[in-house]
A and B are shown apart, each in its own frame.
Chain A
Amino acid sequence: MGNVTLGRYIPLDSPVHRLDPRSKILAMIMMLVAIFFPSGWIGYAILFAVVSFMIILSKLSFGFIWKSMKPMLVMLLFLLVINILVIHTGPVLATIGPVTIYTDAIMQTLYIVVRLLLMIMITTCVTATTKPLDMTLGIEDLLQPFEKIGVPSHEIAMLISIALRFIPDLIDETNRIIKAQASRGVDLKEGKIMERIMAILSLIVPLFVSAFQRAEDLANAMEARGYQPGERRTRYKVLKFKTGDYVLLACSAALVVCMIWLAYFR
């Protein structure tokens, strides 16, 4: 449980860490949009270069990205098989027994792999360099304009930050309970069906009990300090755009335009 890398903040000191969360979120959205234009291999090469540059700049290791990618491998393999069976266009690449493999099947899969890889690189680059709390501040600010049409931006941000806040706690708690029950002879990996069910029950019940307890404690603590969902609140941390943020936004916008051009006007 301790080696979940996807979406985890890595406390380093880098230019990317110091960027404003709002510009990082906006840039992330723009880049994700850019990926989805059919800009061909040249486009993907450019995107790949830009994103790799960002990762190097943020001092993250590529091994870390690889770890986040790993859980998807099975899914990708499955996709490859489906594509080979379904897509029957383009020149024939090879015939193995009754199965004929067409180039388009391979190309389609490769496209998806590259897109997925880029998406993971981009999102990891943002989540790993932005403190969860800063991220929610950023989301709250970005949602502000939609408040007029009834989007409760502050409440959404609060929900997200509370959820994020409790993920590590719940992981710790799960590990603790696993250990406590292991001391009583629970073995999660072995045993008959009934024993397994009991083992899982012996984890889930205490976990729920403690999660509800935490939720109640938190609600009481917030109420005791006068928290009112609707009220305007001042902030301890005020976000401010710096030069780097404008550069990032300009570059991302340029990238989107570039991808559109590559896809439709060439």
Chain B
Amino acid sequence: MSDFVIIGAGPAGISAANESARYGVKVTLIDENNLPGGQLFTQTHKFFGSREHRAGVRGFQIGYDLIEEINKLNVDVLLDTIVYGISADMEVKYVTEGSSAKSITAGNILISTGALEKPVVFKGWTKPGVMGAGAAQTMMNVHRVLPGRKVLMVGSGNVGLIVAYQLKQAGADVVGIIEAMPSIGGYKVHASKIRRIGIPILTSCTIKEAKGSPQVSSAVIVGVDKNLREISGTEDEIKCDLVCIAAGLKPFDELCWLLNLEFKYINELGGFVPVHNDDLETSMKNIYIAGDAAGVEEASTAMEEGRLVGVAVAQKLEYLSDRQAEKLKGKINDRLKYLRLGSFGKKRAEGKKKLTSISK
């Protein structure tokens, strides 16, 4: 039996563990990887956001700092452990690498399982040499292996821009970034950095085919009109051995689907998201959701959402008085509001409002 089982030790899960354990909650934190930190360890660039949210600090460093915090607190951390189901009576079922299946009964559960890359389907998309931008990022930044020498990036959101930059930094030749929409998807700062190092960004352009046998040796790109219809005659074949897909992320919520939680489709948050209230509690009592799993945002918002759940659980278990808890939540919500400003943030704030309004 555990007061609080957290599934997924990315920034959201770790922050929830730290915030609740600090007030005395007995926490079990589970992750399938052999190191807590989630997506942070794939990121070598300096984070954007505010000072308070460690802007200017590189992603992996934030990961190390969070781990140091957990090590100081009394948190039970299960690594190399994958959760494959949760029963309606709050039993969390898991398998640790190399041993048989086990389960643990939880008073409260946080699902902070992150997000998954969205694929793009075109002729040849299943060939070796077509992979997710996140996949390529892990290969170079974590394993230190260059996933390709000549790369075409599909998608100009922040992930596409940042990964293209990092590929170039790691020694690959990035032949270009293509974007189906008429304008660049990501932040201007990232786009100008890309242009400065001489990588062309082509808007209103998409990929038609990945060619080569048995693996990619070239890609056919084509111009598209406002309705994203291909304009014939504008095809161009580009030599490359890696096509990276950066078409956005969607919440990775298989465990929530298995529990039959209530979902809503919110485009601004990446797709189907579990409905939740202001404390991030889902349609099932005592089951919480936070981070990218509760709508794709950023590491900074993921950490704040994790903290919010940490406080809510500590309050429920009476480690915090209502007055103390409401004060803490107020502060966290102020910071979240601040993080959801600007043209990108505002959209996500609207998406979140749609979600929480249903649960009222």
B is a partner of A: no
Which A residues fall within an 8 A CB radius of B?
Answer: none
Residues of B whose CB lies within 8 Å of any CB of A are none
